[in-house]
Amino acid sequence: MIDVIIAGAGPTGLMLACELRLHGVRVVVLEREAEPTGVVRALGLHVRSIEVMDQRGLLDRFLAHGRQYPVGGFFAGIPKPSPERLDTAHPYVLGIPQPVTDRLLAERAAELGAEIRRGREVTGLEQDGEGVTVELADGTRLRSRYAVGCDGGRSTVRKLLGVGFPGEPAGVETLLGEMEATEDPAVIAAVVADVRRTQLRFGVGPVEEGIYRVVVPAAGLTGDRTVPPTLEEVRERLRAVAGTDFGVHSPRWLSRFGDATRQAERYRAGRVLLAGDAAHIHPPVGGQGLNLGIQDAFNLGWKLAAEVAGWAPKGLLDSYHDERHPVAADVLDNTRAQMVLMSTDPGPRSVRRLVSELMDFEEVNRHLTEKITAISVRYDFGRGHELLGRRLPDVKLGRGRRLYELMHGGRGLLLDGTGRLSVAGWADRVDHVTDTGGELDAPAVLLRPDGHVAWAGEEQSGLLDHLPRWFGPATPG
């Protein structure tokens, strides 16, 4: 029997496959499309996702294909500088097209032993007390212990589960594509700068020599946004919004998207879970969608692996919903706010000017930047040390080591500045490092595999209260 079937080979599904394979879980990824898409819906990784790649030893691969940009200016496109001294070793945004992210994660998943089957569409799903039966369009039936729907906003898995997806339907639609243009680049830049003074949902920017990424508001809503626009539709909208179509021609690809905002009522239904866009959709403002899905997978992977391995404490798998549902709800709220601030109406534009003034205060700019980049996420682990529930940045340890270098295997980690603590009984799940280098803001911290602080203190009794909560019972002997 397969341990876990993942529906969807996008960034969320592939990241989850990588996380599960670190723990020896047998994974099969089912992808409806026969070939990887060339559509570039997302353009990069925010700080927390960059940290995630560093924690798993993947960052060098991504840096080789991306460009680093300042963090500022992402909230509703309000142009502000990066806040000073962000609490991260990676204070930048990594510009990298989504197809490249997909490819790098697929390569890593395959290296780790995940099986990716393309051209396999999920059409049916049943579960019982022992596992999940997944039916494919060709009539094939597969059996697994668990299944995860990472199959996008129109998730078949979510619909088959009957999980509610409340929220607001799309109110506006945007056309998107990459194409050539005959107009002089200087003229294009000047027109775009002028139009964007009032129309922030518009943009024409160079991708490479002669190729431009075009984003332009649609005239209205279509019944089926899976049907791409025509080149002539894009030209008409460019002329309507910018007064010129820039001579665009020869599109690489064309697409359309709306601003629907919805969230699954629950992320788990028995042995089936949801992650990424299957669990939440929202406007792409701030560039948070792909990142939110990767971080879902990072939270879920080790928990599901623990369940498969049999050592997961009671409630660990349910904590995935408890922790990630509020995070996505906050993203939905901030994207709603950003969409209002990007409106061309007089009232929202007045509010935008006020928010821009407030962002001149360093604290406000930092707060909104940390929200967009997800480094301010704090899970509710109850009362305790100020670090509890937060992710730990990549602190320097003794002997020239970095924290994230020690987390590539996806295990728990005790950073012990006291030298008096022990993880005896959990050494098969938790590593123990005593040479901490003095940068910790606590005598010792217990980190979950996702880098969030599960305990901070200095007494063995306190540690023993928390090890079973996150890592199950001690191994006898």
- For residue 315, the domain's CATH number is 3.50.50.60
Give domain status of residue 476, yes or no.
Answer: no
160 and 178 assigned to the same domain = no
Q: Is the domain of 307 the same as that of 177?
A: no
Contact status, residue 123 vs residue 7, Cβ threshold 8 Å: no
Residues 177 and 317 placed together within one structural domain of the fold: no
Average pLDDT estimate for 188-198: 94
Residue 396, pLDDT score: 92
pLDDT(438) > 80: no
pLDDT for position 439? 81
Q: 153 and 45 share a domain?
A: yes
If asked whether residues 137 and 200 sit together in one domain, one would say no
Domain final residue pick, 235, 258, 281: 258
Picking from 241, 258, 275, the residue at the C-terminal end of a domain is 258
Residue 168 confidence (pLDDT): 95
Laid out side by side, the sheet with 211-217 consists of: 203-208, 211-217, 173-181, 248-258
What is the spatial distance between Cα 297 and Cα 319, in angstroms, rounded to a whole number? 13
We report the CATH number of the domain holding residue 466 as: 3.40.30.120
Give percent of the chain with pLDDT exceeding 70: 100
More confident residue, 243 or 37: 243
12 and 143 together in one domain: yes
Cα separation, 61 vs 108, whole angstroms: 10
Q: Give pLDDT, residue 350.
A: 96
- 58 within some domain: yes
Question: Can you read off the two tokens belonging to residue 435?
Answer: 């040479």
Average pLDDT for the chain: 95
In this prediction, residue 211 carries a pLDDT of 93
315 and 405 assigned to the same domain: no
Residue finishing a domain among 258, 292, 313: 258
Q: What is the mean pLDDT of residues 244-248?
A: 96
pLDDT(410) > 90 = yes
pLDDT number for residue 424? 96
Parallel, antiparallel, or unpaired for β 412-416 and 430-433? parallel
Same domain, 278 and 343: yes
Per-residue pLDDT at 32: 96
Res. 451 pLDDT band, cuts 50 70 90? very high
Query: With 80 as the cut, is the pLDDT of residue 223 above it?
Result: no
Q: Using CA atoms, how far apart are residues 455 and 413, in angstroms rounded to an integer?
A: 11
Q: pLDDT grade, residue 189 (50/70/90)?
A: very high
Whether 382 maps to a domain, the answer reads no
Task: Indicate which CATH number applies to the domain containing 187.
Answer: 3.30.70.2450
| pLDDT surpassing 80 at residue 172 | yes
Residue 365 has pLDDT above 90, yes or no: yes
Strand partners, 177: 214, 254
How many other C-beta atoms lie within 10 A of the C-beta of residue 144? 23
Three-class DSSP labels, the chain: CEEEEEECCCHHHHHHHHHHHCCCCCEEEEECCCCCCCCCCCCEECHHHHHHHHHCCCHHHHHCCCEEECCCCCCCCCCCCCCCCCCCCCCCEEECCHHHHHHHHHHHHHHHCCEEEECCCEEEEEECCCCEEEEECCCCEEEEEEEEECCCCCCHHHHHHCCCCCEECCCCEEEEEEEEECCCHHHHHHHHHHHCCCCCCCEEEEEECCEEEEEEECCCCCCCCCCCCCHHHHHHHHHHHHCCCCCEEEEEEEEEEECCEEECCCCEECCEEECHHHCEECCCCCCCHHHHHHHHHHHHHHHHHHHHHCCCCCCCCCHHHHHHHHHHHHHHHHHHHHHHHCCCCHHHHHHHHHHHHHCCCHHHHHHHHHHHHCCCCECCCCCCCCCCCEECCCCECHHHCECHHHHCCCCEEEEECCCCCCCCCCCCCEEEECCCCCCCCCCEEEECCCCEEEEEECCHHHHHHHHHHHHCCCCCC
Tens digit of pLDDT for each residue in 300-323? 999 999 999 999 999 999 999 999
What is the structure's pLDDT at 69? 93
Domain that holds residue 446: 398-471
> Quick one: pLDDT band at residue 436, thresholds 50, 70, 90?
confident
Average the pLDDT over each of 150-159, 206-215, 434-443 and give the range with the smallest value: 434-443
pLDDT tens track for 139-160: 999 999 999 999 999 999 999 9
Of 20-29, 31-40, 319-328, where does mean pLDDT reach its minimum?
Answer: 31-40
Whether 221 and 102 share a structural domain: no
Residue 273's pLDDT is 98
Tell me: do 204 and 321 sit in the same domain.
no
User: What is the Cα–Cα distance from 452 to 293, expressed in whole angstroms?
Assistant: 17
Domain count, the chain: 3
Bridge partners of 254? Answer: 177
Examine the domain organization and report whether 179 and 163 are in the same domain. Answer: no
Share of the chain above pLDDT 90, in %: 90
Check if the beta carbon of residue 153 is closer than 8 Å to that of residue 277: yes
Does residue 226 surpass a pLDDT of 90?
no
- How far is C-alpha 75 from the geometric centre of its chain's CA atoms? 17
Task: Say yes or no to pLDDT of 435 above 90.
Answer: no
On whether both 178 and 140 belong to a single domain, the answer is no
Q: What is the mean pLDDT of residues 354-372?
A: 96
Q: Note whether residue 366 is domain-resident.
A: yes
Amino acid 332: pLDDT: 97
Query: What is residue 209's predicted lDDT score, i.e. its pLDDT?
Result: 86
- Residue 46 pLDDT class (50, 70, 90 cuts): very high
Q: How confident is the model at residue 247 (pLDDT cuts 50, 70, 90)?
A: very high
Give a yes or no: residue 380 inside a domain.
Answer: no
Query: Could you give the CA distance from residue 289 to residue 332 in angstroms, rounded to a whole number?
Result: 10
pLDDT tens-digit series, residues 325-361: 999 999 999 999 999 999 989 999 999 999 999 999 9
Within the chain, what is the greatest distance between any pair of CA atoms? 76
Assess if residue 386 is contained within a domain: no
Helix axes 11-21, 98-112, angle to 10 degrees: 20
Structural domain includes residue 118: yes
Inside any domain, residue 384: no
pTM tops 0.75: yes
Euclidean distance between the first and the last CA atom of the chain, given in angstroms as a whole number? 31
Residue 414 has pLDDT above 80, yes or no: yes
